[in-house]
Every structure is written in C-alpha cells, then in structure tokens.
Structure 1
Amino acid sequence: MNPHLYHTLYGPESLNFKLFMAINHAHHPLLDPVMEAMISLGGSKIVYLYAAILLCVGLARRQWLPLRYVGLFCLATVLGLGLEELLKGIAQVPRPGLAIGLDRIMVLGEVKLRNSFPSGHAIFAFVTAFTLSWRRGAGWKVPLYAFAVLVAYSRVYVGAHYPLDVTAGAVVGICSGWVVWKGYEAFAGRRGRQREG
C-alpha cells in the first residue's frame, strides 16, 4: 500500500487507529472467552464442517434449507476467500501487533503480523450470513448477521485486525454472496425461459 494512503488510513491520527485502540483495550473477563470462541467459529478453516452440517440439514429438511443454498454458500465462500488472498497480496498491510507493537495492544489467540487487510474471518462470516439468508425473513437474517457482526468485532477485540479490515471483509463477503446469488438466479431464469420456449 502507498505509504501516504497507509498513514491516512492506519496512522495514529486516523479514526481507524483510534477505534482499534478503543475496542482492543475494552477487555472484560466475561467477554474474553466469547471473543476467543469467535476465532474458531468464524474462521474459514472450518468451512468443510459448516458445509457438511448444512448438507446434512439440507438433505433432511429440504423445505427449510434447499440444497441450492448449500451449494451457493460453498461457491460464494470460494469466491470470497479468493478475493481475500488477492487483496492481501495487493495491500500488504501489517497487522496491529507489528504496526503498533505487541507491548501496546491486547492479543488473544494466535499472533499474526502480516496481511491485515481485509479480514478473512469477516469475509467468511458475512458470506455465510448473506448466502444463507438470501430472500429470507428476519428469522434467518437477525441471528446470522448478529453472528457475523460478533465475529467481525471479535477480530478487533483480540488484536488481529483494524476496524477498516473487518469492514472491508464484510463488504467483500456480502458482494461475493450477491454475485453468486444473482448469477444463479440469472442462470435459473434463462433455463426456465428455454424450457417454456
């Protein structure tokens, strides 16, 4: 990232930096285990477990969770995580532990020092929320987006990412889900018109 842009977005005078310090230093003994749990529950490393659970639910209760939701969740996750790698390679923003110093921040979990922008946890959490709640009511949207927001917040709380990183991750996750769903609907609509014709 351009040094001037980096200083503007991540420097000590930036809102991003100030928000990071405020959230990261607002630790509470009751919150710490919850935020540490979010590291595992919101991480893309368990995407296979999520996919397997969703597939089982989809096969058992197709009216409740049609299988297209499972397939599009997997596809959107691949797209989102691919964009994560691309953007991290381009931006190369150091993590707070390296940029600010491990002695000045609160760190829970694994210490990482490179590739802060965007947050992969936020991408995965928002891909999950968006794809599984597409065209569904509040009963789906509220818990899924609450989970996604909690995952994103936890990444700042545990000292792994800045607020800008998780915001960008949320945008990438939502956009990935939107592209996949719109592509699917366009394809399904075209197939439907061909059958009618």
Structure 2
Amino acid sequence: MINIENFTLNHKLFFLINHNRHPLLDVFYRHFYLLGKGWFGAFVGIVLFVLHDPRFVKYLLAMLLQALVVKALKYSIRAKRPSAVLEKVYLLERLRLKSFPSGDSAMSMTIALCLLKGSPHLLKPVLLAYPILIGYGRVYMGAHFPLDVVVGWAIGVVCFLLVCVGF
C-alpha cells in the first residue's frame, strides 16, 4: 500500500472542511451525496439514451473510461480512508473500498462536462456547481481527503477530454 496522502496540507484541509459542521449541511449532504453514486450516472445515461441525445456516446465512453481509471487506481494504490488514518473524523456514511481517488468526484466532473455543451444556459451554473458540491461533500462527510477529490476531478476532466479528442 502506498501512502501518498500523508502530508500536512492534505490533513489540515481535511480537518478545516470536516470539522466545520452545520446541522443544515449535515442534512443536505446525507441526501445530496447520493447524486455522486454510480446509479445516478447510469440514470443520466439512460435519460440521454431514451431522449436520443447526441451526447450519449461520448457520455457513455467518458463514464466507462473514468470508472476504469478510478477502479484501477483504488485497487493498485489502496489508500486508507481518513477515518482509518486520523482521529476525530466526523463520518456521515458507511464506507467501503479505498480512498484514493474519489470516484464520486471523478464521476460528477465527467457528468458535468459531458452535459455542459448543449444544455440550456440556466442549467450550466448548476452543472458547474455539481462536481464542486459533490467534492466538498466527500470531505465534509469524512469519506475522502482533499487530494482524493482533486485527483478525482482531474480524472473526470482528462477522461472527458480524451473522449472528445477521439471523436
């Protein structure tokens, strides 16, 4: 197991976010985090397919690519979750698998980028806020270190761009 996350700034940022509690944020993230799970990505894909949306093929390829990259990194690096490494972690969900990178962050970024072009102007700010809220929530809920989230976002961006270059 490689411990790539054991540096002071990563831990300080984690505690800054994870220990900045508010009851309304607790309620919000207990529900909103579900929009970072694989079933939501599948739901978006089904909606694009049913609507014969021209973005469907790029979406499907980008989502598959980011999922493969995330799983490969999780199983090869096997980084521990914050609650397994640090004391006094506020944890708002049951966790499985390993920490690095954040699959929810990668998926949310991929979804946002795939849907951005061709979406109504009023929806674009929501699409841009979506991966930010998911990523922040992963740290707030105690599931990930900030580095997990940033690398997850980067994976989403790179996978989206690779699929765009290929098409």
TM-score calculated relative to the size of structure 2: 0.90
Residues 54/135 of structure 1: CA separation in 2 closer, same or farther (3 Å cut): closer
Supply the RMSD in Å over aligned alpha carbons.
Answer: 1.9
1: distance between equivalents of 2:122 and 2:102? 27
Match of 2:81 among 69, 92, 95: 95
TM-score calculated relative to the size of structure 1: 0.77
Write the mapping of 1:152-163 to structure 2, written as runs, cut at 5 A.
Answer: 152-163=135-146
Match of 1:120 among 103, 106, 127: 103
| Gapped regions of structure 2 (runs ≥ 5) | none
SS in 2 for 1:160: coil
Match of 1:51 among 45, 50, 55: 45
Q: Does 1:80 align with 2:66?
A: yes
Identity, % of aligned pairs?
31
Kindly report structure 1 stretches of 4+ aligned residues shifted beyond 3 Å.
134-141
Asked whether the equivalents of residues 62 and 159 of structure 2 are also in contact (C-alpha less than 8 Å), the reply is yes
Asked whether the equivalents of residues 131 and 181 of structure 1 are also in contact (C-alpha less than 8 Å), the reply is no
2:147 aligns with 164
1: distance between equivalents of 2:49 and 2:123? 17
Asked whether the equivalents of residues 2 and 78 of structure 2 are also in contact (C-alpha less than 8 Å), the reply is no
2: distance between equivalents of 1:133 and 1:125? 12
When you count helix as a share of all residues, which structure comes out higher? Answer: 1
2: distance between equivalents of 1:68 and 1:106? 42
Higher relative contact order (CA 8 A, sep 6+): 2
Query: How many pairs does the alignment contain?
Result: 167
Amino acid aligned to 1:40: L
